[in-house]
Amino acid sequence: MYRVEGAQPVASRFEAMTVTGLTPLVGRDEELELLWRRWQQATEGEGQVVLLSGEAGLGKSRLTQALGERLGDDSYLRVLYQGSPYHTHSAFYPIIAHLERTLQLEQVPLPAAKLDRLETLLAQAGLPVAEVAPLFAALLSIPSDDRYAPLRLSPERQKERTMEALVAQLVSLSQRAPVLLIFEDAHWSDPSTLEVLDRLIDGLQDASMLAVITYRPEFEPRWRSYGRVTTHTLNRLTRQQVAALVAEVTAHKGLPQEVLDQIVAKTDGVPLFVEELTKTMLESELLAEQGDHYALSGPLPPLAIPATLQDSLMARLDGLESAKAVAQYAAVIGRQVSYALLEAVSPLDEATLQHELSRLVEAELLYQRGLPPQATYTFKHGLIQDSAYQSLLRSTKQGYHHRIAQVLEARFPETVATQPELLAFHYTEAGRIEQAVGYWQRAAQSALQRSAYIEAIAHLTQVSTLLQRLPESPEREKRELEAYLTLGLAYTATKGFASPEAGRAHTRALALAQQVQESPELAPVQLGLWVFYHVRAELHTARERGEDLLRLAQRLDDPLLLTQAHHALGITLVDMGRFTEAHYHLEQGRALYMPAHHQSHIQLSVYDPIMACCGFAAHALWLLGYPEQAVQRTEESLTHSYALDHPYTLAGALCLAAMHTQWRRESSVAQAQTNTLIALCHEQGFPYFLAWGMMIRGWALSAQGQWSEGIAQLREGLAAYRATALQYCRRIGVPSWLRPWGKLTRSTKD
């Protein structure tokens, strides 16, 4: 006996086609043959990528489906990623959706059961489950219930490791069987997913995998110049091909010549328009079926045949009468609609709703997977959804969006938790700015937790834009301040501490914070501006910002802020050569430090300030002529940093300690310290500290007589430093002619 446990997960709208068959592919023999040849190469271990471009409605997705039909039951694995216009700034959305379908997570509500399925998937891929499962669990928002050891990674490194694991999982599949990876609608991809594609395409050459990436012409793929990448643009159908497609739709029953001529002329070779316009005519009262052909039931009125695809689609929807309203509600929800959500928001009773949905499925406007109440409905094409959506009055759209957002809040808590940007979108379209701003802020925080900084910037930009539509008030200023504070962090991560974007965000945040008397947000703003000016070597301005922070901390009598202010001033004064003043502030920061504030310190300045106070105090003491005291401060910095178990703080401590050890000419100690530093930087992904570690290690090896290895390490370190510096200069807009280290480091080869 067998027991039905649920519907088979289906990703593609074509796979969801269960009631009727697909219209045969017409006019794409050349493209299909190209895909077939690339597939043959891929099965021989020569990974291939095909970039398939075309306007909406030209049949990009239909072509990939045809390739699957040609492959038939051959032993291969199919992976489908699907871009979504509702999730263009949702980090890893197509990948997460694919994993959720593959694991069928909706069938297992308990986190432990979800983790079991995840571990099975990773074990089948031959991946180290204990190392990779925590990364995938975090990506899928599955609570781990302490099953795994904590991820002691910086957010940036966790994202790096996650992307590495995602690529490894895909490549491992190709070792079991050839893989056909379809990425539909890449023009709607989020930046993090595109980063995964970058890595996959980079390492695809030896994998048995064909990746077919479809997109519209407005998207500019960055993989055209990669090896084994083929680019192809779909053209419109010719007149003969349009006639052949019409014949397929009519089951080879002829149309009157004047009707066929108008279909050819008005559709302009767009296959979707050809299909829909032909069906519109067949469903109209203008044609009568007579054996093996159709005849006009009367004279053809001048405007009887719709002139645009939208007109044609609306004519078909209008013909369905009451089912049209259901299609419109579904269009507001999205391209893919669950019956559960549609039933929750629709005013129709259950029987009527199911009847109207069946009519839409029979008309091939929607495809259905599964049976209610577990059914899912997908619009045949995004243009059909667009037409249904655009046919609504603005006020009606807003009401629908508001109703959908309210229902999601009340009945779909998991969606609220994992996709706050979806609620933000619906509230935005509903004109409910207060609620929309709150969810955009939640979406930004969620993106930041995944180090998806570009997505976070997009969400925060929405926040700042929407807030301008609210009347001025202290509450609006406070929310705008929160947005610009977070924007400063996101721009710092993506473009650098001293980038103009980070500077503008911090400056705007300062102006907002100053409007709120004794605002607690003033401290992180001033600290951010200190970092901005210090890293740009505008030291006098950096000192002023540090002094502003110190005055605020003294006024508030806050030991946490006092520590940060003294540490900031001390570092700047060291770089200004004012070592006595620097030593005073660094010692003050060291004395005021409270271990209980450790987490708060790191949130403010990324690293723990006691490390910097001790490390830079050692700088000042050495240059003031107190080498023994400098050694004590260096050892204190290292001891404290090892005890914290915070990777970035430890990397900074090791780098400063190695510099001091180099000054003391203790090459063996410097080598040991840089060995540890280099290993830590490789593990955590700290390029700046890595470059310094390699350069100092090169000196240490040379000082011990290992000239060949030492010089090689020094050159590698200089190259890494040059790459980091050039990347940084590009971020902050330094002209190329002001980048001297390019020539400097190249000259080391001579």
Enumerate helices (H) and strands (E) in the chain, giving the number of each.
Answer: 34, 10
Residue 532 lies in a domain: no
**Bridge partners of residue 212, in order along the sequence:** 50, 182
**Residue 533 included in any domain:** no
Q: What is the tens place of the pLDDT at every residue in 183-233? A: 999 999 999 999 999 999 988 888 999 999 999 999 999 999 888 999 999
Among 191, 169, 189, smallest CA distance to 179 is for 169
One-letter amino acid for residue 132 of the chain: V
pLDDT at residue 431 greater than cutoff 80: yes
Residues 265 and 147 both lie in one domain: no
Residue 15 has pLDDT above 60, yes or no: no
Q: Order of strands, edge to edge, in the sheet holding 209-215?
A: 77-82, 179-184, 209-215, 48-53, 229-233
SS3 126: coil
- What was the pLDDT predicted at 18? 38
Answer for the pair 658, 672: CB distance below 8 angstroms, yes or no: no
Residue 2 has pLDDT above 50, yes or no: no
Task: Quote the pLDDT of residue 198.
Answer: 92
pLDDT tens, residue by residue, 690-746? 999 999 999 999 999 999 999 999 999 888 888 777 665 655 555 444 444 444 433
Distance between CA atoms of residues 32 and 194, nearest Å:
25
Residue 747: pLDDT band with limits 50, 70, 90: very low
Q: Are 28 and 120 in contact (CB under 8 A)?
A: no
Q: What is the largest CA-CA distance in the chain?
A: 106
Pairing mode, if any, of strands 293-296 and 287-290? Answer: antiparallel
- Confidence at residue 80, expressed as pLDDT on a 0 to 100 scale: 94
Q: At 12, list the tokens.
A: 């593609």
- The token duo for 365 is 């406007």
Q: In the chain, pLDDT over 70 holds for what percent of residues?
A: 92
Contacts 24+ apart (CB under 8 A), 488-495: 488/525, 488/528, 489/448, 489/528, 490/444, 490/448, 490/453, 490/456, 490/457, 490/460, 491/453, 491/457, 492/528, 492/531, 493/156, 493/451, 493/453, 494/453, 494/454, 494/457, 495/731, 495/732
Q: 244 and 340 in one domain? A: yes
Residue 234 has a pLDDT of 95
SS3 685: coil
Q: What is the pLDDT of residue 683?
A: 83
Domain contains 400: no
What are the pLDDT digits (tens) for 223-250?
998 889 999 999 999 999 999 999 999 9
Q: Please, is 90 exposed, middle or buried when counting C-beta atoms within 10 Å of its C-beta (0-12, 13-18, 19+)?
A: buried
**What CATH number corresponds to the domain at position 118?**
3.40.50.300
What is the band of 518 on the pLDDT scale with cuts at 50, 70, 90?
Answer: low
* Residue (of 157, 166, 148, 58) closest to 112 by Cα position: 148
Regarding whether 387 and 307 lie in a shared domain, the answer is yes
State the pLDDT at residue 657.
Answer: 96
Dihedral sign, CA of 659, 662, 667, 668? negative
Where does a domain end: 233, 267, 287? 233
Q: What is the mean pLDDT of the chain?
A: 88
Task: Please tell me the predicted confidence (pLDDT) of residue 154.
Answer: 73
- Assign 272 to helix, strand or coil: helix
pLDDT tens track for 115-139: 999 999 999 888 999 999 999 999 9
Higher pLDDT: 746 or 280? It is 280
With a cut of 70, say whether residue 585 has pLDDT above it.
yes
Give the pLDDT mean for 96-122.
Answer: 91
* pLDDT, mean of residues 559-563: 90
* Minimum mean pLDDT range among 286-290, 513-517, 521-525, 632-636: 513-517
**Is the pTM value of this prediction over 0.95?**
no
Mean pLDDT for 62-70 is 92
| Phi, psi angle pair for 110, to nearest 5° | -80, 135
Query: Is the confidence at residue 12, as pLDDT, over 70?
Result: no
* Run of H or E including 295: strand 293-296
Same domain, 550 and 515: no
Q: How confident is the model at residue 201, as a pLDDT?
A: 93
| pLDDT for residue 223 | 92
Domain boundary among 392, 423, 447: 392
Residue type, 702: S
Task: Report the percentage of the chain scoring pLDDT > 90.
Answer: 60
Q: Are residues 420 and 513 in the same domain?
A: yes
Count up the domains in the chain and report the number: 5
HEC-encoded secondary structure of 341-357: HHHHHCCCCHHHHHHHH
Residues 640 and 662 in one domain: no
Q: Do 352 and 244 fall into the same domain?
A: yes
Q: Is residue 17 part of a domain?
A: no
Q: Which CATH number do you get for residue 675?
A: 1.25.40
Residues 529-556 have a mean pLDDT of 91
Domain housing 732? 646-750
Same structural domain, 718 and 617: no
Among 71-80, 196-205, 418-427, the minimum mean pLDDT is found in 71-80
574 pLDDT higher than 90: yes
Band (673; pLDDT cuts 50, 70, 90)? very high
The span from the first CA to the last CA of the chain, in angstroms, equals 78
- Stronger pLDDT, 402 or 149, i.e. the higher one: 402
Residues 480-484: what's their mean pLDDT? 90
Bridge partner list, 53: 215, 233
Residues 145 and 260 occupy one common structural domain: no
**Two tokens at 620?**
């000042």
Check whether residue 163 and residue 58 sit in a common domain. Answer: yes
373 cis-preceded (ω within 30 degrees of 0): yes
Per the domain annotation, does 303 fall within a domain?
A: yes
Residue 559 lies in a domain: yes
* Token pair recorded at residue 414: 């998991």
Can you give the CATH number for the domain in which 273 is found? 1.10.10.10
User: What is the amino acid identity at position 231?
Assistant: T
**Can you give the pLDDT at residue 134?**
93
pLDDT at 175 over 70: yes
Above 50 in pLDDT, residue 664? Answer: yes
CATH code, domain with 515: 1.25.40.10
Query: Binning pLDDT at 50, 70 and 90, where does residue 3 land?
Result: very low
What pLDDT shows up at residue 373? 87
The CA distance from 234 to 52, in Å, is: 7
| Residue 339 and residue 485 in one domain | no
Confidence of residue 9 (pLDDT cuts 50, 70, 90): very low
* Residue 638 lies inside a defined structural domain of this protein: yes
530 in any annotated domain: no
Residue 520 has pLDDT above 70, yes or no: no
Q: How far apart, in Å, are the Cα atoms of 105 and each of 110, 132, 450, 506?
A: 9, 18, 21, 42
For residue 536, is pLDDT > 90?
Answer: no
Residue with more model confidence, 394 or 490: 394
> Mean pLDDT across the stretch 135-154?
85
Of 244-248, 310-314, 417-421, 573-577, the poorest mean pLDDT is in 310-314
Least confidently predicted of 240-249, 340-349, 491-500, 647-656:
491-500
548 and 478 together in one domain: no
Contact 457, 487 (CB under 8 A): yes
Report whether pLDDT(177) > 80. yes
Write down the pLDDT at residue 603. Answer: 64
Q: Among the three residues 180, 207, 233, which one is the final residue of a domain in this structure?
A: 233
